[in-house]
Structure 1
Amino acid sequence: MDARVNDLLSRTDPNQVTLDEPKADQMLSLAKKMLDVVCSQIPITKRLNKSYSTEVSLDPATAHPKLIISPQGDSATYTNIWQELPELPGRFDTTLNVISLQGFSSGRHYWEIDVSGKTYWELGLTYTTICRKGRAEDCWLGRGSDSWAVEFFDGEYTAWHDGVPRQLPSSKHFSRIGVLCSFPAGLVSFLGADCMTPLFSFCTGAFRDCLHLALCPGHDHNGTNAQPIVICNGHSSTSAFENNPPSEFQTNSS
């Protein structure tokens, strides 16, 4: 058996493959066709995800006192000023978090969050049982078993759940992040919504409670992170990408 495996590996070693010009042209043509297929599916994938869009608003009663929540409840902005707000049981008092007023316990739901111009943020989904008081690690999104999150910090993406970090390979600075939740599948997926780039998916099997969207706009990050984090409620399902795909997805027809 070992001899057969070694023989197979030796025959498929890329260093031992030689291509003449016709074969190289065929491979390039095939790669172009595959890229064309991928590009053609992106608007379809976007429309499918958008069909699950659910409007939510942020609950100011849960927001950390250094977060300014817009009157419409669709954005959170960090301020260095500690606001005098009522001490409520549901308010985060250490981590810069806020969760949605609405919770969901069935169906499929999709949100897009605008993170353009930001250098630090966290976002995801959480049960209402997430720890909100004090400096416990579980108060951070994804650090406990009650939440799932993706974090962007210093140009790197990390997926978090139950305190386990998973460094993501993507280095692209996405302006929108999509969050897809499927109760039938027990699935939480994160993607770069600019061009439907998968970032990470958690397969939980089943959710035990209602899920709420959770956002953290992050601190000022040395003065580079002043922009709000914004929920894109009610935006058109047709993005600029569908009409003008970014250069890395454009192909040369010649």
Structure 2
Amino acid sequence: MEKLEKHQEGLKRQREAVKYRLKKLAARQSEITKKSSAIKESIVRKYQEIQAVLDEDLRMTLSHLEMEERAVVSTLDGLMERNCSMIQDIEQDLARLTVALDQTLTPSDSFFSYAEQQDMQTEDRVMDLLSTTDPSSVNLDEAKAEQILSLTSNMLLLIRSQTPIMKKLIKSYSSDVCLDPETAHPKLIISHQGDSATYTNTWQQLPDLPGRFDTTLNVISLQAFSFGRHYWEMDVTGKTYWELGITYPTIPRKGTTEDCWLGRGGDSWCVEFFDGEYTAWHGGVPRQLTFTKRFCRVGVMCSLPAGLVTFLEADKMAPLFSFCAGTFSDCLHLALCPGHDHNGTNANPIVICSALSPTSDL
């Protein structure tokens, strides 16, 4: 009975320890959620402030242009009014002349002299009016407008150079990496530069090294990463099947065990594309993704400080899936599987963009 009671007390202590840990985990979850929300709110405010600055600058710029437009249009209105007034004066002269002609059967010399004098005066007024109301004499300041357009174009180029922000940021994490041919399955051809893996139907006569995959069509990077943030892009253009991911060096390499496949065990994380569908894998658990577009470039980023592995569509840096490992227990290697050629439909290689030569210093 005493032993049973001690065992009971021990179980109670263990239960309390687990309960306390559960409480701490829940608190941490709440803390992470609040912190993430605060970060997102701060970023939204910054974008709103940027938008407000741009809106105010646009308002001021347009107000200047509209004020100048009103001044020019007002000047043209005045000139048009003078021309209209002149037309009215001429019309009145014509009307008076018509009446005079109707009333005078035989015009006198004095009449002709007066008419000629009036005609000369009207011609002088018209010539003066035409010279002072030349449309080409009224202009907008087009040179200044071109300068404004040039400045706004430069601002657009600057903004585009900084956006998308995530693309610029993630690209800054790019790390040199090359594939380790001594880990490659014998049916994979690894380029001399270590930047691509291609399936061949011929079993190559290669040394059966301890680190070589002998069943799954895998290969991992020569470099291992134990700190910092790292990003790589893979070109999968024209492929119908591939697997890309991150793995610990402890991933099983031999035999037919499921753990040898990327993402099927606890040692690796991957996204798989097969038969038009994307699936994220870790610990043997599949997570179906909703994307249907066949991507040409896929990015893989790992953040060791945060314990995150993130997969992205590389052209726009659109996120595909993110795993949280908490804390990585070992260094990490880039891993990939180009798959069988499937009767020529999947013959293209997987190419690592901007890969490092295997002979380079690590």
Cα pair 1:176 1:193 within 8 Å, conserved: yes
Q: Return the offset for 1:223.
A: 1.9
- The alignment partner of 1:189 has SS state of strand
The aligned residue for residue 124 of structure 1 is 245
Q: Which runs of 4+ in 1 moved over 2 A?
A: 39-44
Letter in 2 for 1:66: K
Following superposition of structure 1 onto structure 2, how do residues 158-197 of structure 1 map, counting pairs within 5 Å? 158-197=279-318
Q: Comparing both chains, which one has the higher relative contact order based on Cα–Cα distances under 8 Å and sequence gaps of 6 or more?
A: 1
Matched, 1:66 2:187: yes
- The structure carrying a bigger helix percent of its residues is 2
Cα pair 1:42 1:195 within 8 Å, conserved: no
Cα pair 1:107 1:183 within 8 Å, conserved: yes
Matched, 1:230 2:351: yes
Deviations 1:202-254 (A, max 9, x none): 0111000000000100001232001000110169xxxxxxxxxxxxxxxxxxx
Q: Distance in 1 between matches of 2:318 and 2:172?
A: 18
- Which of 102, 111, 114 pairs up with 2:235? 114
Q: Distance in 1 between matches of 2:355 and 2:204?
A: 30
Q: Distance in 2 between matches of 1:145 and 1:203?
A: 12
Q: Distance in 2 between matches of 1:88 and 1:233?
A: 28
Q: Distance in 1 between matches of 2:174 and 2:317?
A: 15
Matched, 1:217 2:217: no
- The alignment partner of 2:287 has SS state of strand
- Which of 203, 213, 231 pairs up with 1:82? 203
Q: Return the offset for 1:172.
A: 1.1
Q: Distance in 2 between matches of 1:224 and 1:48?
A: 35
Q: Distance in 2 between matches of 1:234 and 1:218?
A: 20
Q: Distance in 2 between matches of 1:56 and 1:89?
A: 22
- The alignment partner of 2:309 has SS state of strand
Unaligned runs of 5+ in 2: 1-158, 357-362
Are the structure 2 counterparts of residues 234 and 147 from structure 1 closer, same or farther at C-alpha, using a change threshold of 3 Å? Answer: closer
- Which of 311, 320, 327 pairs up with 1:199? 320
Cα pair 2:194 2:355 within 8 Å, conserved: no
The aligned residue for residue 55 of structure 1 is 176
Cα pair 1:53 1:111 within 8 Å, conserved: yes
Q: Distance in 2 between matches of 1:189 and 1:222?
A: 32
Q: Distance in 2 between matches of 1:115 and 1:206?
A: 30
Cα pair 1:42 1:196 within 8 Å, conserved: no
The aligned residue for residue 155 of structure 1 is 276
Q: What is the TM-score normalised by the length of structure 2?
A: 0.53
Identical-residue share of aligned pairs (%): 77
Unaligned runs of 5+ in 1: 1-38, 236-254
- The structure carrying a bigger strand percent of its residues is 1
**What is the aligned-residue RMSD (CA, Å)?**
1.5
Cα pair 2:177 2:355 within 8 Å, conserved: no
- Count of residues in correspondence between the two structures: 197
Q: Which has the larger radius of gyration?
A: 2
Q: Distance in 2 between matches of 1:76 and 1:138?
A: 21
Q: Return the offset for 1:44.
A: 2.2
- The alignment partner of 2:168 has SS state of helix
Are the structure 2 counterparts of residues 63 and 234 from structure 1 closer, same or farther at C-alpha, using a change threshold of 3 Å? Answer: closer
- Which of 255, 259, 282 pairs up with 1:138? 259
